Amino acid sequence: MSEFAAAFDTTSKLLARRGMATASILWKLKRLFNVGSERELKRAIRKINMLAEDIIRQRRRLGFTSGHDLLSRFMCLVDDDDKFLRDIVISFLLAGRDTVASGLTSFFLLLSQNPYTVAAMRDEIAGVIKDGNEDAVNYEQLKEMHYVHAVLYESLRLFPPVQFDSKFCLEDDVLPDGTFVSKNTRVTYHPYAMGRMESIWGPDWGAFKPERWLRGGLFTPANLFNYPVFQGGQRVCLGKELALEEMKAVVVSVVLKFDVEVLQGALPLKFVPGLTATINGGLSARVSRRS
């Protein structure tokens, strides 16, 4: 799995460089002659494919007909198309591994800078769990934590795991505001920049303010086209709810038992080129158990 992770990180970095290249002809020539970064990319993709196929073989050996994991469910439907199953494994890892890690990293960075928010979260969590088991918070309890949900959304507004994304127009089209988009045009949107636009979020756009998501104490989402962290329209992220509940479960378990102090202080963050927002050098923190 460590080899898989390294190959995944390499592929993400090199594909992002492709996307940011001012002239695509350069990487296309490298691919044609199999040199430099394109050769390295091909090697990393080969490693990813090999290990993904090994995961599928292991699942077959263990049996999948009674399994409840996502791969087993897909294999029950389509077990004779290894390429499809391989792509499913890679898609789930790409969508769920780096994005959740990125979202949780920036979340604890912002919590470290806002102790009032931590205290308010702990009050809400304690109120929901009451005399329950803190080690086994269930799905229904997570749904009741509106403030925790608001803190997550506010964190993702300022630090979306996917900072920019592009779509290509298959046919001539017209956007809702009347803008004509011709066939094969690349349209790029930038959730990181949009989360910092005064025209969308008002003059306090730079403030970490979970309360902006609450109405009468209940979480109220924004228009997805103003907040495209999970995309919008017919292309809303399929794993959106799973990712949010996964992050909430981690956050609740950590916040209840630990204090997280980020050590970078006020140093400006630098991101590594990649498909997801990864902080260069990681985020150093001191974690201490609460008494």
pLDDT digits 0-9 by tens, 174-204: 988 899 999 999 898 999 999 999 999 999 9
Q: What is the full DSSP assignment across 52-73?
A: HHHHHHHHHHH--TT--SHHHH
Q: Give the pLDDT mean for 48-73.
A: 85
Residue where the block lists tokens 């150093």: 284
Query: So what's the pLDDT on residue 258?
Result: 95
Structure tokens at 51: 């290990």
Half-sphere CA count of 177, side-chain side, radius 13 A:
2
pLDDT digits 0-9 by tens, 220-249: 999 999 999 999 888 888 888 888 999 999
Query: So what's the pLDDT on residue 135?
Result: 72
Query: So what's the pLDDT on residue 239?
Result: 83
Q: Which of 144-148, 179-183, 203-207, 259-263 has the lowest mean pLDDT?
A: 259-263
Residue 23 has pLDDT above 90, yes or no: no
Q: Which of 123-132, 157-166, 202-211, 261-270 has the lowest mean pLDDT?
A: 261-270
CA 216, chain centre distance (Å): 28
What is the rounded CA–CA span in Å between residue 210 and residue 229? Answer: 16
Residue 267 binned pLDDT confidence (cut-offs 50, 70, 90): low
Residue 268 has pLDDT above 70, yes or no: yes
8 A C-beta contact, residue 27 and residue 42: no
Residue 37 binned pLDDT confidence (cut-offs 50, 70, 90): very high
Query: So what's the pLDDT on residue 132?
Result: 66
Q: Please, what are the domains in the chain?
A: 1-80 (no CATH), 99-289 (1.10.630.10)
Residue where the block lists tokens 């780096």: 98
- 169 is known to lie in a ligand binding site: no
Residue where the block lists tokens 């094969």: 184
Half-sphere CA count of 30, side-chain side, radius 13 A:
16
204-233: burial string, b at 16+ Cβ within 10 Å, e else = ebeebbbebbeeeeebeeeeeeebbbbbee
More confident residue, 177 or 264: 177
Residue 210 binned pLDDT confidence (cut-offs 50, 70, 90): very high
